[in-house]
Structure 1
Amino acid sequence: MMKTFTLISLVFLASLSPLHAQVSIGIRGGYTLSATQIKNAQGYKSNSIGTSSQLKNLHADLMINVPVYKAIYFQPLVRYITKGAYLRPLPTKPGTLVESANQLTLRYLEVPMNLVVKFPLRMGKIVAGMGPYVAYGLGGSYDLDLMYNGDVLSTNSHSVKFNYKDRGIAPGTQLNRFDAGANISLGIEFNNTMVLGANLSRGFANLDRTSSAKITNSYFSVSLGFLFDREDY
């Protein structure tokens, strides 16, 4: 599946070349705050972005600008990103041992596909847009606490095995490798070819393959980078 996803991405990027002679390419990197929302039938609910559950990490982007019509552009990204969260302990009963994940990290190759509008300024352009994204899970890990009467007895780290019956986040959980959702973006393209951007992403695909819970990703990111050229030069 990874080879298929990579091939599709390469074909997608190659297909952009004939669309317009002034397609521009850039690179960015930055800071990510992510959260993984989990809701199950037992009433467990993890927190979202803006709370203590958010996970801090980095991301890297390949950015492409494709002129569509006047100030409207198609701006896809190829993004390497780590999503996940710090998770609250599962509820425990007195005198029982419980396994509970306290940290989840999931590494993805993600392709946001935004339609953006560029507003000219003296210092450059304001860029605002939105669109869907698809993502392919490369791997991940989780820390699993063994708890007794609410106290942590031991903690072990495990690898996430997509599409495989894994006992990590909750007993019997199976995670889907693919993620999908929508995002909005806002940024500035400076006249010196530097770019600054922010992105808010919300996953709609349920990552739980067993249908026993609803697991979705979300994140907020800030990026800084530069364009190799400008399509309006």
Structure 2
Amino acid sequence: MKNARWILLLLLGLWSIGGRGQNPPLIGPKVPPPPETPLLDPQGDRALKILFNVSVDLAKQELLNSSAAGTPYANRDAVGTSLRYNAAILLLTGVNQLINNWRDFLNSPHSYRSPNPPDPATLVASIDGVPEPVAPTDNDSFLNHLDVAYGLQLIGKGGKMGTSTTRMTYLEVPAYILYNHDLPNGKGQVFGGLGFYLAYGLGGTITDSAFPGSVSAFDKNSGYKHFDAGLLLTAGYQLPQSLRLSVAYELGLVNLVPNGGAYDKVKNRVWSLNVAYPLNKLTALVKKK
């Protein structure tokens, strides 16, 4: 009996040491944690998508001047378009996704706005394992139809004025707010929106059929300004297979030649026909080949 008593005391001591610091057992069904929503999820509808975009552009330089009156440049027919191309990497995500990510960041332990640890006394009502009622998500809310698109692109601009042709290459940062609408029966999605762009001229040339050679489009003394900015308009259609087709228009707001004499104001105008495809799917196709 004495040995049985010591064995019983030993088992009780081991049980108390092993169970120390552990939470009391929950009563009721175990509630699984909510699934994580990754920021970068190529398969998610509202998560961040990375798109590779190419386009064919019709570029033009709009003349908005008064001193050109009486010169060949007063003739609007003397201003023509130039065929250019661009390539871009675009990031596309839902507005709700951005809001949720921002909230998660503010509530994370690494955030300066992270709340203090909860008082255990306030958790008594929640340890029974019974989940609180959760309001259903409103999939038809306005924010669920909004996307944010931004990225980096190399884009060609310029145009024709009389006998001269200008070709310029810009590094550009576009940003859009897009409204999207899902078509019935899974037939794809239509979208449209507006935004702005900031661009910096990397290089370019001006040629004239009446003179040999070319000059730099961004010459320090008589060339165009490097900086450009303006508004963006776009509309398009996304196929169920994720291929996106769209048209876009760039309305330049910066006067490229503020001291241009007869060229009082010259601003960039670009029409683009775009094709975009998820970068991860594109790389997968390349690897298969």
Alpha-carbon distance between aligned partners in 2 of 1:47 and 1:128, rounded to the nearest angstrom: 31
Q: Of the candidates 141, 165, 170, which is equivalent to residue 221 of structure 2?
A: 165
Per-residue deviation, 1:208: 1.0
More strand by percentage: 1
Task: Measure how far apart 1:38 and its partner are.
Answer: 2.8
1:105 is matched with 167
Matched to 1:74, the amino acid is V
Q: Could you tell me which residue of structure 1 aligns to residue 269 of structure 2?
A: 218
Which of residues 135, 141, 144 is equivalent to 2:205?
141
Distance in 2 separating the partners of 1:125 and 1:107: 32
The TM-score with structure 2 as length reference comes to: 0.58
Distance 1:27 1:111 in 2: 14
In structure 1, runs of 5+ residues without a counterpart are 1-17, 90-101, 146-151, 167-173
Would you say how many aligned residue pairs link Structure 1 and Structure 2? 184
RMSD: 2.5
- TM-score where L is the length of structure 1: 0.71
Distance 1:209 1:46 in 2: 21
Within the candidate set 35, 50, 55, 2:60 is matched to 35
**Does residue 60 of structure 1 match 2:87?**
yes
Unmatched segments (≥5 aa) in structure 2:
1-36, 41-46, 96-142, 282-289
- d(CA) in 2 for partners of 1:131 and 1:35? 20
Q: CA deviation at 1:39?
A: 4.1
Counterpart in 2 of 1:11?
none
- Return the letter of the residue paired with 2:52: I
Q: Please report how far the alpha carbon of residue 45 of structure 1 lies from its aligned counterpart in structure 2 after TM superposition.
A: 3.8
Contact 2:79 2:161 in 1 (8 A): no
Counterpart Cα distance in 2 of 1:109 and 1:129: 22
Which residue number corresponds to residue 110 of structure 2? none
The letter of the residue matching 1:105 is: R
The 2-side partners of 1:70 and 1:76 are apart by 18
CA offset at residue 229 of structure 1? Answer: 6.1
How far is the alpha carbon of 1:52 from its aligned partner?
6.9
The match for 1:13 is none
- Aligned residue number for residue 92 of structure 1: none
Matched ranges for 1:11-160 at <5 A: 20=39, 22-40=47-65, 41-43=67-69, 44-45=73-74, 47=76, 53-68=80-95, 69-89=143-163, 102-121=164-183, 122-145=186-209, 152=210, 154-160=211-217
Mapped partners of 1:19, 1:216: distance in 2 = 42
Q: Distance in 2 between matches of 1:84 and 1:27?
A: 24
Deviation at residue 47 of structure 1 after TM alignment: 4.2
Work out which of the two has the higher radius of gyration on C-alpha atoms and give 1 or 2.
2
Task: Identify the structure with the greater helix proportion.
Answer: 2
**Which deviations, in whole Å up to 9, do the C-alpha atoms of 1:54-90 show, x marking residues without a partner?**
001111111111210311011113221110111115x
